[in-house]
Amino acid sequence: MANQRRARCGHLWTASLALCVLLVVKVHTRPANMSALKDKNQDSKEDNEILPPDHLNGVKMEMDGHLNKDFHQEVFLGKDMEEFEEDSEPRRNRKKLIDIFTKVDFNKDGSVSAKEMQRWIMQKTEEHFQEAVRENKNSFRAVDPDGDGHVTWDEYRVKFLASKGFNEKEVAEKIKNNEELKVDEETQEVLESLKDRWFQADNPPADQLLNEEEFLSFLHPEHSRGMLKYMVKEIVRDLDQDGDKRLTLSEFISLPMGTVENQQAQDIDDDWVRERKKEFEDVIDANRDGIVTMEELEEYMDPMNEYNALNEARQMIAVADENQNRNLELEEILKYSEYFTGSKLMDYARNVHEEF
Ligand SMILES: [Ca+2]
Ligand SMILES: [Ca+2]
Ligand SMILES: [Ca+2]
Ligand SMILES: [Ca+2]
């Protein structure tokens, strides 16, 4: 994932330089949590299939507490995201973007209002949900090979350890006989965090088995209110320094250890901090009292929150609204194609070039 992102950065323009820098920082300065595990498994899709992803499409914050930099593109493109990620022909991208514009413009008056964009964002968020449900079917099949529709923690644990290179039969045998498993500290830590999450995902009445639906909320906490709360709790726990279960600005922007080494790193950190400060003050701390509570963070992260969608819609419009009519016209969206889709259109590339 990180490599892909960095590769994609290569195509972007100066305006996105800061973004690139941030993404690179992201790779190097991830707080502990699930990151160790993820980095190891990056090359193997099969392993990742049964593990909760760190990044959730259409959710504003990642599981490791980082801001989701691709959020606005994700909620603008929905399941068509990947089409734009490829270096496909600008003419084709232009046509696709025009198609999208026509659909977002619900009342067909040639311009997109905040309400229309909000409606669109909700629709695209739903697409990401459906995508996760589809993927979950495969993941569930992988952990429930006998197909009885239920998976125990022990069964999952065996699959997980097998994906980490342990001998599946041996591990299964040991677990059955209640023998001690020799796993390294890091794997043990991950196991414990997975176990907590596993039992959270087990809906009452708890039977210690996960069915497909519960497994979905294990992998994708954004699909259930209870799991969303759990995810918020985990994030706060990772960032909270004085243990009052709320976040001050300084807790929210404090850097993970060992990042500042030279001026270049310092500048990168400054951007990272600036971005988070802005998000904290302008968006997450809804009542502006300087403290982010779990409730505020939960509201912020809830992908089905219509108020957030409207806010996002307004922000998206503001970025490209050159004629200042609080609506988006087709020319505006084409001109800011890179912002909306992550890919530039040829004609406008030339214009941008002339400006420099
Ligand atoms: Ca319209
Ligand atoms: Ca605190
Ligand atoms: Ca607050
Ligand atoms: Ca406009």
Q: Cα of 85 to ligand 4 centre, how many Å? A: 26
Q: How far is CA 18 from the centre of its chain?
A: 19
Tokens of 3: 């490599």
Q: Cα of 346 to ligand 4 centre, how many Å? A: 21
* Ligand with smallest separation from the Cα of 284: 3
CA dihedral sign of residues 173, 175, 178, 183: positive
Q: What is the pLDDT of residues 268-294, one digit of tens each?
A: 778 889 999 999 999 999 999 999 999
Q: Cα of 308 to ligand 3 centre, how many Å? A: 16
Q: Cα of 92 to ligand 2 centre, how many Å? A: 49
Position 85 scores a pLDDT of 67
Q: Cα of 201 to ligand 3 centre, how many Å? A: 28
Q: What is the pLDDT of residues 155-175, one digit of tens each?
A: 999 999 999 899 999 999 999
Is the model's pLDDT at 19 over the cut of 60? no
Q: Cα of 113 to ligand 4 centre, how many Å? A: 9
150 within 8 A of 202, measured Cβ to Cβ: no
Nearest to 275 by CA among 87, 66, 13: 66
Triad 102, 106, 112: Cα angle to 5°: 70
Tokens of 169: 């039969």
Q: What is the pLDDT of residues 176-197, one digit of tens each?
A: 999 988 899 999 999 999 999 9
pTM check: above 0.85: no
Q: Cα of 108 to ligand 4 centre, how many Å? A: 15
Is the model's pLDDT at 22 over the cut of 90? no
* Ligand with smallest separation from the Cα of 327: 4
Nearest to 70 by CA among 29, 27, 20, 112: 20
* Ligand with smallest separation from the Cα of 332: 4
d(CA 260, CA 264): 9
Q: Cα of 85 to ligand 3 centre, how many Å? A: 36
Q: What is the pLDDT of residues 122-151, one digit of tens each?
A: 999 999 999 999 999 999 999 998 899 999
d(CA 3, CA 8): 8
DSSP reduced 3-state for 226: helix
Beta strands in the chain (DSSP E): 111-112, 151-152, 209-210, 247-248, 291-292, 328-329
Residue appearing with tokens 């176990």:
195
d(CA 185, CA 198): 20
* Ligand with smallest separation from the Cα of 252: 2
Q: Cα of 235 to ligand 3 centre, how many Å? A: 16
Q: Cα of 286 to ligand 3 centre, how many Å? A: 6
Is the model's pLDDT at 350 over the cut of 80? no
Position 20 scores a pLDDT of 42
Please list the alpha-helical segments (H only) found in 152-258: 153-163, 168-176, 185-201, 212-219, 225-239, 249-253
Per-domain residue ranges for the chain? Answer: 2-355
CB atoms closer than 10 angstroms to residue 323: 11
Residue 267: C-alpha distances to residues 67, 261, 263 (Å): 18, 11, 6
Proportion of the chain above pLDDT 90, given as a percent: 65
CB atoms closer than 10 angstroms to residue 285: 21
Q: What is the pLDDT of residues 204-247, one digit of tens each?
A: 888 889 999 999 999 999 989 999 999 999 999 999 999 999 99
Tokens of 298: 């939960």
Under 8 Å CB-to-CB from 308, ≥6 apart: which residues?
Answer: 60, 299, 300, 302
Q: Cα of 100 to ligand 1 centre, how many Å? A: 13
283 within 8 A of 300, measured Cβ to Cβ: yes
Q: Cα of 276 to ligand 2 centre, how many Å? A: 16
Q: Cα of 275 to ligand 4 centre, how many Å? A: 26
d(CA 79, CA 131): 7
Triad 336, 337, 338: Cα angle to 5°: 90
